[in-house]
């Protein structure tokens, strides 16, 4: 946590400079290398724990109400939504997109009390159908300050920010409306790998935490002027220990 604060604050202070590549970041390069070889069955086994076209209900996935299921089915009949899905990976624009299964997705703390759904969609005719997994997540107001007030919805803000930070991610996201809520729609790809912290050494975990927090800090810092960054940094400074250079695990947390 201390290294995440250090990385975030360093980038906030100088968002126009390159992020310091301290330590070895080989684990990041390894994950990127592995992601290139992943296929649909890897994503299915990881996310829904099965390669069959069905979302298993249980601890992670909950049953939908009739209202939720009907709203999701109607959403995936909208032309803009189907175009977003068929526009990826060389799919035919005329391919029919059908909701095969859907469930409420119990995810991390950022989704608590919010709408979050996993949708398994089939693309093309049944005999030659391919599948994709779509994440629907309710968008919330930003807590980070910004020079300019965004004129669109919170979902549109998230999509625009993703396009600016990581175009490969932002281009497969869309802002939609579902059950009177602003929702960010994102197709999950086999290449979307997360770090397995159990396989990292202590030093590798520290280096990665500092580096990735710097990426977030840089993104937030670009939205502020110098005065706003100074005020935001002062606010952060009042919430954590003063000696951030102390070694991790020395009881300063």
pLDDT at position 20 is: 64
Domain count, the chain: 2
Q: Do residues 209 and 167 share a domain?
A: no
CA-CA distance, 181 to 176, in Å (whole number)?
A: 8
pLDDT at position 174 is: 93
pLDDT at position 251 is: 31
Q: Do residues 18 and 124 share a domain?
A: no
pLDDT at position 70 is: 97
Q: Do residues 180 and 211 share a domain?
A: no
Other CB atoms within a 10 A radius of the CB of residue 62 amount to 12
CA-CA distance, 58 to 48, in Å (whole number)?
A: 11
Tokens of 140: 């919330």
pLDDT at position 21 is: 63
Residue range of the domain that includes 13: 2-26+196-237
User: In this structure, is residue 112 part of a structural domain?
Assistant: yes
- Contact between 68 and 179 (Cβ < 8 Å): yes
With a cut of 70, list the residues of the chain below it in pLDDT: 18, 20-24, 28-52, 88-90, 147, 190-199, 236-253
User: In this structure, is residue 109 part of a structural domain?
Assistant: yes
pLDDT at position 169 is: 81
Q: Do residues 11 and 112 share a domain?
A: no
pLDDT at position 234 is: 82
Q: Do residues 109 and 8 share a domain?
A: no
Helices (DSSP H) in the chain: which residue ranges?
A: 2-13, 26-35, 40-47, 66-75, 79-86, 154-165, 167-170, 202-221, 226-237
Judged by DSSP in three states, 238 sits in: coil
Q: Do residues 118 and 223 share a domain?
A: no
- Contact between 124 and 96 (Cβ < 8 Å): yes
In the sheet that holds 130-138, the strands lie side by side as: 61-62, 97-105, 116-123, 130-138, 181-188, 173-178
Q: Do residues 131 and 175 share a domain?
A: yes
User: In this structure, is residue 34 part of a structural domain?
Assistant: no
Q: Do residues 56 and 181 share a domain?
A: yes
User: In this structure, is residue 33 part of a structural domain?
Assistant: no
CA-CA distance, 92 to 233, in Å (whole number)?
A: 49
Q: Do residues 10 and 118 share a domain?
A: no
> Length of the chain, please?
253
User: In this structure, is residue 244 part of a structural domain?
Assistant: no
Q: Do residues 184 and 203 share a domain?
A: no
pLDDT at position 64 is: 96
Q: Do residues 123 and 12 share a domain?
A: no
User: In this structure, is residue 247 part of a structural domain?
Assistant: no
User: In this structure, is residue 166 part of a structural domain?
Assistant: yes
Q: Do residues 63 and 123 share a domain?
A: yes
- Contact between 142 and 218 (Cβ < 8 Å): no
Q: What is the per-residue pLDDT across 81-92, written as a single tens digit (0 to 9) for each? A: 998 888 866 678
Tokens of 159: 């999509």
pLDDT at position 26 is: 73
- Indicate yes or no: pTM above 0.85: no
In our burial notation (b when 16+ CB lie closer than 10 A, e otherwise), range 27-60 reads beeeeeeeeeeeeeebbbeebbeeeeeebeeeeb
pLDDT at position 116 is: 94
User: In this structure, is residue 163 part of a structural domain?
Assistant: yes
């Amino acid at each position: 946590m201390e290294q995440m604060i250090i990385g975030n604050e360093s980038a906030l202070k100088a968002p126009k400079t390159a992020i310091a590549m301290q330590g070895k970041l080989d684990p990041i390069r390894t994950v990127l290398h592995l992601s290139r070889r992943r296929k649909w069955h890897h994503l299915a086994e990881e996310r829904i724990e099965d390669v069959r076209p069905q979302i298993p209900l249980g601890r992670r996935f909950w049953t939908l109400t009739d209202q939720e299921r009907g709203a999701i089915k109607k959403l995936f009949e909208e032309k803009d939504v189907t175009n977003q899905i068929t526009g990826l990976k060389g799919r035919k624009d005329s391919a029919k997109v059908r909701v095969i299964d859907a469930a409420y997705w119990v995810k991390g703390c950022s989704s608590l009390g919010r709408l979050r759904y996993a949708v398994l969609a089939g693309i093309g005719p049944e005999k030659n159908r391919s599948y994709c997994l779509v994440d629907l997540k309710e968008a919330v107001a930003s807590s980070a300050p910004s020079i300019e007030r965004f004129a669109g919805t919170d979902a549109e803000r998230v999509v625009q920010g993703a396009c600016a930070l990581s175009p490969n991610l932002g281009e497969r996201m869309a802002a939609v409306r579902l059950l009177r809520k602003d929702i960010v729609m994102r197709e999950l790809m086999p290449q979307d790998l997360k770090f397995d912290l159990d396989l990292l050494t202590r030093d590798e975990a520290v280096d990665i935490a500092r580096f990735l927090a710097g990426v977030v800090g840089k993104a937030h810092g670009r939205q502020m002027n110098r005065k706003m960054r100074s005020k935001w940094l002062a606010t952060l400074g009042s919430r954590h220990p003063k000696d951030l250079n102390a070694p991790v695990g020395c009881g300063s947390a």
